[in-house]
Structure 1
């Protein structure tokens, strides 16, 4: 049963890669927006720490 689940997840990842290739522009836009969101999250995570340490 575990092997079957692993195989399904592997197939799913292949389908996801294929979908990203087909939707190259959309996938690229999603990736860029994700990177921007991650950078914003990093900034918002860094600033409260310093303010907490000061308080």
Structure 2
């Protein structure tokens, strides 16, 4: 999907939502984003550790 088109669709959806709903959604994204980043860092760390072990 075209990035610009996707952004326009998202902006239209945000306009429809009231501020309270938007705050809740942003909070949900923040929590989910942190969990995803944490998971990626953890998996990356494990992979790096395994690579170091094999390199020895």
Band the TM-score falls in, shorter-chain normalisation = 0.5 to 0.7
User: Which stretches in structure 2 are left out of the alignment for 5+ residues?
Assistant: 51-56
- The ranges of structure 1 where at least 4 consecutive aligned residues each deviate by more than 2 angstroms after the TM superposition are 9-18
* RMSD over equivalenced CA pairs, Å: 2.6
User: Which stretches in structure 1 are left out of the alignment for 5+ residues?
Assistant: 1-5
TM-score of the superposed pair, with normalisation by structure 2: 0.61
User: How many residues get paired?
Assistant: 46
